Amino acid sequence: ATCFGGLLSENPSFAYCVGAETCLSYLYNTPEQQREMLAKIGVDSIAELFEQIPADLRLNRRLALPPALTEIELEAHLTELAAKNGEGRSRVSFLGGGAYDHFIPAAVDAIASRSEFYTAYTPYQAEASQGSLQTFFEYQTLICQLAGMDVSNASLYEGGTAVSEAVFMAMRITNRHGKVVMLESVHPEYRQVCQTYLKQLNCELVVVPCPGGAADPDEVRRALDDRTACLVVQHPNFFGCLEEARELAELAHRVEALAVVSFDPVSLGLLARPGEYGADIAVAEGQALGIPLQYGGPYLGIMACKNDFARKMPGRLIGETVDRQGRRCFVLTLQAREQHIRREKATSNICTNQGLLALRATVHLSLLGKSGLAEVAELCTRKAHYAADCLTRLAQFAGLELAFPARPFFKEFTLRCRAGVDETVSRARAAGFDIGPKLSAYGKIGGQRLDDCLLVAVTEKRTVAEILGLAGALRR
Amino acid sequence: ATCFGGLLSENPSFAYCVGAETCLSYLYNTPEQQREMLAKIGVDSIAELFEQIPADLRLNRRLALPPALTEIELEAHLTELAAKNGEGRSRVSFLGGGAYDHFIPAAVDAIASRSEFYTAYTPYQAEASQGSLQTFFEYQTLICQLAGMDVSNASLYEGGTAVSEAVFMAMRITNRHGKVVMLESVHPEYRQVCQTYLKQLNCELVVVPCPGGAADPDEVRRALDDRTACLVVQHPNFFGCLEEARELAELAHRVEALAVVSFDPVSLGLLARPGEYGADIAVAEGQALGIPLQYGGPYLGIMACKNDFARKMPGRLIGETVDRQGRRCFVLTLQAREQHIRREKATSNICTNQGLLALRATVHLSLLGKSGLAEVAELCTRKAHYAADCLTRLAQFAGLELAFPARPFFKEFTLRCRAGVDETVSRARAAGFDIGPKLSAYGKIGGQRLDDCLLVAVTEKRTVAEILGLAGALRR
Amino acid sequence: MRNRQATQLLFDHSKPGRRAAIFPASDVLERPLDEIIPLAQRTALPLQLPELTEPEVIRHFVNLSTENMSVDTHFYPLGSCTMKYNPKRHERLAGLAGIVDLHPNQPGDQAQGMLELLYSLQQILAEIAGLPAVSLQPAAGAQGEFTALLVASAYFRDKGERRTKVLFPNSAHGTNPASAALAGFQCVQLSSTPQGFVDLSELQSHLDDATAVFMVTNPNTLGMFEREITRVARLVHDAGGLVYIDGANMNAIAGIARPGDFGGDMMHYNVHKTFTGPHGAGGPGAGPIAVRDFLADFLPGPIVVSDAAGTAKPVFYRLVTPPKSIGRVRSFFGNVGILVRGYCYLRTLGAAGVRAMSENAVLNANYLLAQLKDVLPVPQGERCMHEFVASARLLKDSRGISAMDIAKRLLDFGFHAPTVYFPLVVAEAMMIEPTETESKETLDAFAQAIRTIVAEDAEYLHLAPHETPISRPDDVRAARQPILKWTPPAE
Amino acid sequence: MRNRQATQLLFDHSKPGRRAAIFPASDVLERPLDEIIPLAQRTALPLQLPELTEPEVIRHFVNLSTENMSVDTHFYPLGSCTMKYNPKRHERLAGLAGIVDLHPNQPGDQAQGMLELLYSLQQILAEIAGLPAVSLQPAAGAQGEFTALLVASAYFRDKGERRTKVLFPNSAHGTNPASAALAGFQCVQLSSTPQGFVDLSELQSHLDDATAVFMVTNPNTLGMFEREITRVARLVHDAGGLVYIDGANMNAIAGIARPGDFGGDMMHYNVHKTFTGPHGAGGPGAGPIAVRDFLADFLPGPIVVSDAAGTAKPVFYRLVTPPKSIGRVRSFFGNVGILVRGYCYLRTLGAAGVRAMSENAVLNANYLLAQLKDVLPVPQGERCMHEFVASARLLKDSRGISAMDIAKRLLDFGFHAPTVYFPLVVAEAMMIEPTETESKETLDAFAQAIRTIVAEDAEYLHLAPHETPISRPDDVRAARQPILKWTPPAE
Ligand SMILES: Cc1ncc(COP(=O)(O)O)c(C=O)c1O
Ligand SMILES: Cc1ncc(COP(=O)(O)O)c(C=O)c1O
């Protein structure tokens, strides 16, 4: 095959034409066109254009990269890599810990793969972006409806940074920069992110231990004081347990701190909404809303707050307005909060956000609607409880027990494995079931006590046969 | 879940609401709306609308159908069915016999899954269908370029019926209705279709035996006479061999019969084009042009012909014209050939054709272009010859030999298995390689001689490692 | 926001040396090409295909797509075509590995999942038809008709009867006579009653011992159920003929009335219509046929049968050809990709769902009829099944506004046009089929648009549409000086 | 052909009882809900989500999509954003089972394929950067900046130095100062030379032992390569600081010059730009960082390492956290879906391809600059790298035509607008980045459009665009009386 990618390059020893044809699928200009273009520019070669770069800074060798692959080869390569994951395809996942195997209707993929959505960028030009803008306005509305909050932004990176952004926001709102209180039952990775984010800021992050699987309100009360910017609660929490969210929010408010809640969007088909129990800022990992697992991202950082705090929010906001002919339309608004206007005074540094994932969540929530979300929530909780029963009671598994039997839980529970976590995981795995994560992976949570525990999550996709299969595999 | 699909149905014992919720995803009208609509119509119930059907003709029971499945359940069901095919996913296909595992660039799927294409219908309203019309005009052009012919229609059902339609067309053109000559080396299923189509018409179908794997021109000459409407040749033929296409076309023309050729589109990256060697009507199975195997269909019937025959063609034709403002545009044209105008005098009964597959072929050919098609053709033929060498010569496989060693072949060859076809197939299969079909599956082709033969096809997707793997598996 | 480069032809973008799909270098031992393919067999001329890059191909076709109306974007009440919603889950599931990549020559024991699916679909279609034997082979409705007529022909031949005629009413779809002619029959078109029904005495007067088949669409192409269908069938049967039901309109009666129960001996389905194929810009379709038991032996092969059903052994599915089969009507099994989608739809609906589908289709059609009948008379009356045929004849006579004018103007309002000028028995026909997957809101908006349009100036309507990329192409020029492909400027 | 129902809001379509996604009935033993979830924990209010059918949802969003311009449909020369073609193969491959459905908590030995891919990507990005240690964790460029600044901070802390200031030129992207502030640094903005380059004496005058990092985009946001970058780096290094390269413009230099070779200590990539993410209507991105070896220990975890490479044992990949890590900057591994696409792109290009990409990006930009400079002056001169910043200042002064007017009017011609009013150092800036995946034909058409536009009537341009669904929304009203969500009419 002929090739012209680097035809006019300065260094003929860069034998582009050998093995480099593959990139040409995406390049347009033929050698003849390149010559015409160079003539118009007034140079003799592409190399001349690069004389802008001092000669000694130009790389005088070819990059040491793996060889170029044609589409057939690339597909074979990726297929091979994919086959090395998960030991084949028919595994059944009870994995939890912040990402879940929920069902994604095909209609979500159909919309997210529309060229006009996924190959556009930030809707800077409203006239050429009403599709995205209206979608994100609808997204904001759906998130507010879901969480019972007043205002939603148009997305943050993911659940972990959303917590940190909420903490910063609370600090700005309360003007308290010295102390933040977080429950130990918040996802340990979210906590680690928050620690990273706060490290530079001389702000103390007080972690309230939750040895019982959820917060003890007395402990929380003791930790809060009038220096506290906010109390960060995850509900349902990392262990799967429900917190006494209303009481906790009240405790925060009592010291004029904000209540920041990280919620599970699916749980709101059944549980009280953050706005209902007094959350000031509600954040979430939105992965459960139609976003594939894809080894951890891209996911969706959800953030909603009370009306008064809108101008303190990080991230983009879409607003309704009218055009010069009075037609309803949508625009990026309150941009004075953002980095491209406010620079170092911005409410956040975020620029590229998670637009396509917000679109997925919008379509997903539209499809589920009122009844669908309630159905999913109920199915998850029923199946999770059935699984917990099977694993601990019905089948008399010596050695398996709920770590926090006194606590109600939603779709996920912490299982203590007296016989050893690794042994339990391997047995399940040999039968094609994945359970976890093991809590030992997160270092200390409440001391060493939880090293014999793991999480088990049960979504609406799991069937009774699969649950019984898992139970069977763990039977001694 | 509540449900209103059949709320107002005449028979309350049709308990629609149990298990029938699934259909509601696609229905719009709520019970309240149904009531409003019935009021506007002036009836009391949907049942009343069905009184148009005499009572004794109305089914007084529920259909005995398998239970309704939600999307989650349907996906689980289809996934299970899919897993029962092909014994898992990592099989390597050397299967041929009219359908081939060619590579399909992802861009083909991306375009074919555009809503605007696949959820539209026949472009009757030109103003609302320029997308389809221009695409099909481009398809017609590409097919003409490919085959070296003057006119292409906008698709027929598939390769087999395309042959029959060509035969009918030849009969109309030559006004010879009593005799058609076909080589035995034409795909046996195409021949069977033609037999079926001709059965009613008192037309003799003379099959010229090809014991040598391709036609003997002397035999063909003897079969042709001045009653013959056409000679039907497949080239490369069913056995993978090349025919002496030019000579055969000349023989047909000598008795003023038409030369009908069924070609392999991929082969035209290398081989002489039908228009080059005198074909009057060129047809093809278009599956190789970006169409997935999907167990036999939908595929694409390609038909092209010489200029003079355009008005005798079956199927739709798209023509260029201008609109009332002089803008170039495209329309369905020469419709006087078609059933909706000409009814029993139409050139064919075809109505719904294979539009989406013609679109796929258009995109596929656009992507391959001049050089890509040549590359694919060369890769196929090189790899097929390498495979034939490995299987027969290099590795000294006792018992495996080319059935037609004297004949050049393109991407497929007939392998004689002295040790038994079934034994050979099973050995390959056990190692994850599929070869075939066995020629015994087609009943008599040239007597019983070929029962110890099977086909092996090698596309550009097969690697040297796979070919050697197959050879290794068949080594005694 | 139209991309002005978009309407250029693919060929206008071609430049020598551009590439999109690029293939790996050969990894096998190289023999000189001349040694494997004789020079005489090789092409002497350079390939003429265009040379494009991948971004160019994508931008071209994505932009072209937006010049189409489609079900996913617009209300598309094209009569007789059942333009219902095409569920997205079907596309995902028909695309599963193991289904989309299954080779048609894969041995049966490696295709048990597929055969199970196709077997179930045969059973389901038999039950809905009330006719026990099904062939999934035909590629579309027209091929279903043709296939069934060959079956009839083989049946009569087998009985030693020579029957040469196929009868059909003048409201029949064009494929009916075309299929009959293709199958070697003599075509006899019957006039209908003024209401558009089968005229019993006309039928009777043509029935004789040369009559092979009477083809009738029910509900008919006017959207009316043939109330006398049992008497029609009895007459045909008494004359020794068979009744063929054109099932294009099954969306009105599936789960409610069965062709086998009202006298049909054979029928076809249009899976791409009734069971949401989808329509693919003109196809592909799938046109399975269902026939009475005494015709089963004549069906084309292959057909899926199940071994060991009811026994202790696991069920095994096999492909067989019926003993007296008419032979194949196409290569391989059938338009399986479409059949899989039809199966998905039928499994989603279940028995109650199938019925609800027809009920809502009929409700929507009658509602729209009620909305429109004052502005656009419906000669066939106050009621319809899943579609109705309005007539612009009065408007044409009084103000010169034709069915075509209204159809074209509807495009400006963001609605696809109904089928126009079919069936032939209604002057200025507008055949409107809303389907069950449209909302009252949409029907109201459509009715409102029609009301607006009929009040518009006739001259303005003759020039409609006004907001589409093109308007009123010159069909005569296209047919007189056909340009059927692009030719390079040089040529 | 616009569907007039299309611009209704989702919520306008809602009707009580409509359903799209429906779930199976529970198949497990039922315990009363109150027993498992206490009533007090349950919501007391009905859910407020809309009620829609699936066809409605699809038609709504498909129609909405067509109100967007996008790379697949239009030339999109949005400066600084590298709106190149997004290969379709990436979407297919990132969607493979085993990749798209891999759980982030799947144990490492069940994710070896994924870890191998991510490991290779780390290596590739290190090589292109000329900086050996890579973290793939940051979710976008801005988070990459922030992360790298935390790394610098940890590094200095580890050395026992207290450095509090981050310096950047006034041409810097807004994320630079915002990230610095977020990381707890004091921001110092430096003025540039009249040509828009880093002003060495200005830099020198601000460098001191409190200087932690100098952030510089190279090529800079004017599309110019900082010729003095080695001297810049030497000055910063001499003052004990680190040099951060904002890699948003790597599309100009990948394979040609390496940040590590011209003095950068840290950098980020924007995988969604340079390595064709795609852009997803605003995101997701991926913003991996590459740093010098002495900073490696401070990178956030997890990072992929390979065991047994070079030994006889099969390679095994593991996730580790560097010893002095700053900690996590997000949950899980990173925006893997985007990283997979970037990997696919880099494997498609190979070394020569990466270079050809930059060469053609620079060629296209210079060609367009040459075409446009007469009509739209480019203050920075005759040459550029992959993009250039034209100014409408003269037009504004002479005829009142602003950069915004031209941008808006371009939409009517079927071109997305360039980035306007950035960088801040150029008045009436129009930042134009064609990328390498556009053709000369398109560039010519774009230049022609600009030429046409600047000759148009100013009043007409103030009202532009004229052919888009909306025109010139009232931004002030949007900000003064923010309506940030739909509220039901009753509320
Ligand atoms: C009444 C009727 N019969 C038969 C057909 C032919 O079916 P197909 O187009 O699937 O071949 C049609 C399709 O338009 C039809 O409407
Ligand atoms: C020069 C420059 N730096 C940094 C960024 C921020 O990158 P991201 O949007 O990926 O966070 C951008 C993106 O617009 C940019 O153009």
pLDDT in tens, B359-410: 999 999 999 999 999 999 999 999 999 999 999 976 566 689 999 999 999 9
pLDDT score, position A190: 98
Substitution target in A69, A75, A462 with the highest count of B β-carbons within 10 Å is A75
Contacts of A321 (CB under 8 A, 6+ apart): A328, A329, A330, A331, A333, D473, D474, D475, D477, D478, D483
Which chain B residues touch A106 with a CB distance below 8 Å? Answer: 71
Please tell me the number of the ligand nearest to residue C221's CA.
1
Task: Share the mean pLDDT of chain A.
Answer: 92
Measured CA to CA, the distance from residue C437 to residue B119 in angstroms comes to: 14
pLDDT score, position C381: 86
Q: Is the pLDDT of residue D4 over 90?
A: no
- Does D17 contact B28 at a Cβ distance shorter than 8 Å? no
> Does the beta carbon of C445 lie under 8 angstroms from any beta carbon of chain D?
yes
Which chain B residues touch D21 with a CB distance below 8 Å? Answer: 25, 71
Q: What ipTM was predicted for this assembly?
A: 0.97
Please tell me the number of the ligand nearest to residue D171's CA.
2
pLDDT digits (tens, 9 = 90+) for D346-393: 999 999 999 999 999 999 999 999 999 999 999 988 999 999 999 999
Q: Is residue B217 classed exposed, middle or buried when 0-12, 13-18 and 19+ CB atoms within 10 A define those classes? A: middle
pLDDT digits (tens, 9 = 90+) for C446-479: 999 999 999 999 999 999 999 999 999 999 999 9
Percent of chain C with pLDDT over 90: 93
- Does C24 contact A72 at a Cβ distance shorter than 8 Å? yes
- Does A157 contact D49 at a Cβ distance shorter than 8 Å? no
Q: Is the pLDDT of residue B18 over 70?
A: no
Query: Is the CB–ligand 1 distance for residue C387 below 6 Å?
Result: no
Contacts of D304 (CB under 8 A, 6+ apart): D115, D118, D119, D122, D317, D318, D319
Please tell me the least confidently modeled range out of A185-199, C300-314, D41-55: C300-314
SS3 assignment, position B104: coil
Query: Is the CB–ligand 2 distance for residue D173 below 6 Å?
Result: yes
In the numeric block, the tokens 């429900």 are attached to A242
Measured CA to CA, the distance from residue A304 to residue A302 in angstroms comes to: 7
Which chain B residues touch C369 with a CB distance below 8 Å? Answer: 41
Q: Is the pLDDT of residue D210 over 70?
A: yes
DSSP letters of D439-487?
-HHHHHHHHHHHHHHHTS-HHHHHT--SSSSS-S--HHHHHHS---S--
Percent of chain D with pLDDT over 70: 99
In the numeric block, the tokens 């022609």 are attached to D448
Residues B234 and B271: beta-carbon distance below 8 Å = no
Cis check for the bond before C194: say yes or no (omega within 30 of 0): no
Calculate mean pLDDT across residues C429-447. 97
pLDDT digits (tens, 9 = 90+) for C138-151: 999 999 999 999 99
Q: How many helices (H) and strands (E) does chain C have?
A: 15, 12
Angle (CA) C15-C17-C19 rounded to 5° is 95
pLDDT digits (tens, 9 = 90+) for C345-356: 999 999 999 999
A5 — pLDDT class (breaks 50, 70, 90): very low
> Does the beta carbon of A350 lie under 8 angstroms from any beta carbon of chain D?
yes
Please tell me the number of the ligand nearest to residue D141's CA.
2
Choose among D396, D415, D364, D343: nearest CA to D136: D343
Q: Which residue of C has its CA nearest to B422?
A: C107
Query: Is the CB–ligand 2 distance for residue D153 below 6 Å?
Result: no
Q: What is the DSSP letter of A392?
A: I
Which residue among A27, A87, A362 places its CB closest to the CB of D110? A87
- Does D59 contact C72 at a Cβ distance shorter than 8 Å? yes
- Does A28 contact C18 at a Cβ distance shorter than 8 Å? yes
- Does A59 contact D256 at a Cβ distance shorter than 8 Å? yes
Task: Share the mean pLDDT of chain B.
Answer: 92
Q: The tokens of C235 are what?
A: 């007459």
Substitution target in C14, C29, C41 with the highest count of B β-carbons within 10 Å is C41
- Does C58 contact D66 at a Cβ distance shorter than 8 Å? no
Calculate mean pLDDT across residues B4-28. 42
Residues D145 and D291: beta-carbon distance below 8 Å = no
Q: What is the DSSP letter of D489?
A: T
Choose among B186, B163, B174: nearest CA to B303: B163
Please count the residue pairs, one from chain A and one from chain B, whose beta carbons lie less than 8 angstroms apart: 32
Q: Is the pLDDT of residue C285 over 90?
A: yes
Q: B109 to chain D nearest CA, in Å?
A: 9
pLDDT digits (tens, 9 = 90+) for D254-308: 999 999 999 999 999 999 999 999 999 999 999 999 999 999 999 999 999 998 7
pLDDT digits (tens, 9 = 90+) for A356-398: 999 999 999 999 999 999 999 999 999 999 999 999 986 566 6
Long-range CB pairs of C190-199 (<8 Å, 24+ gap) are C192/C425, C195/C224, C195/C380, C195/C381, C196/C171, C196/C220, C196/C222, C196/C224, C196/C379, C196/C380, C196/C423, C196/C425, C196/C426, C197/C224, C197/C226, C197/C227, C197/C228, C198/C169, C198/C226, C198/C228, C198/C229, C198/C232, C199/C169
> Does the beta carbon of C189 lie under 8 angstroms from any beta carbon of chain D?
no
Q: Is the pLDDT of residue A13 over 60?
A: no
Angle (CA) B251-B253-B254 rounded to 5° is 65
Query: Is the CB–ligand 2 distance for residue D248 below 6 Å?
Result: yes
pLDDT digits (tens, 9 = 90+) for D117-160: 999 999 999 999 999 999 999 999 999 999 999 999 999 999 99
Contacts of A4 (CB under 8 A, 6+ apart): A24, A27, A29, A30, A31, A34, C17
pLDDT score, position B28: 75
Choose among C145, C137, C118, C133: nearest CA to C342: C118
Whether pTM exceeds 0.90? yes
SS3 content of chain A, % helix, strand, coil (to 5): 45, 15, 40
Phi, psi of D291 (to 5 degrees): -140, 165
- Does B2 contact A371 at a Cβ distance shorter than 8 Å? yes
Q: Is the pLDDT of residue A199 over 60?
A: yes
pLDDT digits (tens, 9 = 90+) for C64-86: 999 999 999 999 999 999 999 99
Q: Tell me which H or E stretch contains B152.
A: strand B151-152
DSSP letters of B363-400?
HHHHHHHHHHHHHHHHHHHHHHHHHHHIIIIIT--TTE
Substitution target in A8, A111, A115 with the highest count of C β-carbons within 10 Å is A115
Residues B256 and B226: beta-carbon distance below 8 Å = yes
Choose among C212, C214, C194: nearest CA to C203: C214
Calculate mean pLDDT across residues B178-199. 96
> Does the beta carbon of B461 lie under 8 angstroms from any beta carbon of chain A?
yes
C2 — pLDDT class (breaks 50, 70, 90): confident
Q: B189 to chain D nearest CA, in Å?
A: 34
Calculate mean pLDDT across residues A125-135. 98
